[in-house]
Amino acid sequence: MQDYVRRILTSSVYEVAQETPLEPMELLSARLDAEILVKREDLQPVFSFKIRGAHNRISRLTQEERLRGVICASAGNHAQGVALSATRLGIRAVIVMPTTTPAIKINAVRRLGGEVVLFGDGFDAARAHAEELAEKHGYVMVHPFDDPDVIAGQGTIGIELLRQHPGPIGAIYVPIGGGGLAAGIASIVKFLRPDIRVIGVEPEEAASMKAAIEAGHPVAIDQVGLFADGVAVRQVGAETFRLCRDLLDDIITVTADEICAAIKDIFDDHRAITEPAGALALAGLRRHAESGAAPRGALIAINSGANVNFDRLRHVVERAEIGERAEALLSVEIPERPGSYRAFIRLLGNRSITEFNYRYAHGATARIFVGIKLSRGDAEKQEIISLLEKNGLGVIDLTDNEVAKLHVRHMVGGRVQGLEDEEVYRFQFPERPGALLKFLEGLNDGWNISLFHYRNHGADYGRVLVGVQVPEATREAFLAHIDAIGYPYWQETHNPAYRQFLEGDRP
């Protein structure tokens, strides 16, 4: 440990890196009744802590090594650190990146002067290829985590946060990919403040350090999920394993949904968007705090990076409320007769409906896919399920069903044989509690609803697509009726998207 303390104290990181702030999470602290802070490594010049270790390693190269150039394998954040450091020092940098790397990271490496080579579908394949190129061309390998100088560079974060928060600290939560960040922070924190717990956090789908510690040595896990691509490492390093095994107090794993919820927490408190790996530590902190396992004192999470593809935010938003147990997804069976929807919504009272999907099917029972906003988590969900079942409705809880969350919620619909007189309308109404019920009550029982799709997207206005069976003889009366509801609407019966994928097969 003393060797690492010396390395950390003499690290050369501030030529390119900066000391990042330790900021309170005021909203989350109030909700969890704890003092919660985040170390904002997402504010580094490359939006990630990786610049620290990369520069510390490269700055120590001999003149002969600098002339040979450097190479690394990385999913993106280490790559940007290597590219920036090498460019500042006038050194050639070749970066091998998995083909699955988000475009934002690839483009950033090229902009920083790195020569990008795309190879393999994960870090391990990219690393093997980088080693081959290093052997062939004589490049100096800059390992993303399993190198003493890299580990020491990351450890400078520990010095900063101890200086920034001299008061009692219960635990520091650190994301783990290959283990360099956790090893570096634990080395300095356990030397200076052994009373502070240092807890590693891994995704359930990429828990390579947890597997290594359980096995007693680094092991290659069978599969690695790519949602948190910044920590998608199949096997941790030998040196990082040794340090994490000896210095970490615990390792916990979290789900992708919990990571999404942590991304939302950071946005709510700081209006900052982090990458999945960047919010990993906060997700672990939240799990500990909510379960009562967190120690007394301040709880600190490392926000390790913000290099996220914009289009990935669609998935994050969709899953965040599930991750914080703020939404229940249910399949509910109701009688297939007019008025059933209103009766169902009335049962839910003032609870906000986040999603409501239905397509007519022949038979006495209708099945709807419904999302319900929760304020008290799983306990409230169970109350809702019990309420619906007591009123004779069949309920299946789909909140943790991956197929439902990823696919089925978007697929409720399709063609129906023998469906007559269907007209389709798109409505818009003010998004407030009770608005959906008011809309349904405005459609009286004279016309049968054959299709219904509603999803709350957090906007000021709710949008509903409704199919209604309207015989030709009652069409004029129906139009007068929906005019009286007072919500803007558009006739979509001839919309090609409806005609191609939803229109019922005429008898």
How many CA atoms lie less than 13 Å away from 351 in the CB half-sphere? 25
pLDDT at residue number 380: 92
Going by pLDDT thresholds of 50, 70 and 90, the confidence category of residue 132 is very high
Residue with the two structure tokens 């935010």: 313
SS3 string, 224-260, reads CCCCCHHHCCCCCCHHHHHHHHHHCCEEEEECHHHHH
Q: Which two tokens stand for residue 305?
A: 């990076």
Separation of CA 260 from chain center: 3
Q: How far apart are CA 147 and CA 325, in angstroms?
A: 39
Dump pLDDT digits (tens) for 277-329.
Answer: 999 999 999 999 999 999 999 999 999 999 887 878 878 887 887 777 888 99
Q: Is the pLDDT of residue 67 over 80?
A: yes
Check residue 223 and give its pLDDT. Answer: 83
d(CA 344, CA 70): 64
Catalytic residue among 59, 304, 352, 450: 304
Known catalytic residue at 59: no
Non-local (6+) Cβ contacts of 386 within 8 A are: none
Q: Which two tokens stand for residue 472?
A: 């030709």
- Catalytic status, residue 304: yes
C-alpha distances in Å from residue 433, one per residue of 341, 368, 429, 459 = 16, 20, 11, 13
- Walk me through the domains of the chain, giving residue ranges and CATH numbers: 2-43+152-321 (3.40.50.1100), 50-141 (3.40.50.1100), 326-501 (3.40.1020.10)
**Residue 458: pLDDT over 70:** no
- Give the C-alpha separation, 241 to 182, whole Å: 10
Catalytic residue among 50, 105, 381, 405: 50
pLDDT above 80 (res 142): yes
What average pLDDT is seen over the chain?
Answer: 90
**Is residue 410's pLDDT more than 80?**
no
Dihedral angle of Cα 155, 161, 162, 168, to the nearest 10 degrees: -130
**pLDDT of the residue at 266:** 97
- Using alpha carbons, list the distances in angstroms from residue 276 to 47, 68, 177, 184, 500: 13, 35, 12, 21, 37
Which H or E run includes 115?
strand 115-118
Is pLDDT of 255 > 80? yes
Nearest-5° angle of CA 460, CA 463, CA 465? Answer: 175
What SS3 state is found at 194? Answer: coil
pLDDT at 438 over 80: no
Give the mean model confidence (pLDDT) for residues 356-372. Answer: 85
- Residue 2 pLDDT: 83
Residue-wise burial string across 245-278, b where 16 or more C-beta atoms lie within 10 A, e elsewhere: bebbeebbbbbbbbbbbbbbbbbebbebbbbbbb
Residue 412: CB atoms within 10 Å: 18
Nearest-angstrom CA–CA distance, 160 and 39: 9
Residue 505 has pLDDT above 70, yes or no: no
Are the beta carbons of 23 and 161 closer than 8 angstroms? no
Rg (CA), the chain: 27
Measured CA to CA, the distance from residue 181 to residue 156 in angstroms comes to 10
**Among 179-183, 256-260, 277-281, 334-338, whose mean pLDDT is lowest?**
334-338
User: What mean pLDDT do residues 451-480 have?
Assistant: 83
Q: Order the strands of the 36-40 sheet from edge to edge.
A: 22-24, 36-40, 298-303, 169-175, 197-203, 250-254
Share of the chain above pLDDT 70, in %: 97
Q: What's the whole-model pTM score?
A: 0.80
- List, in order, residues 6 or more apart from 266 with CB less than 8 Å away: 25, 38, 272, 273, 274, 278, 279, 282, 303
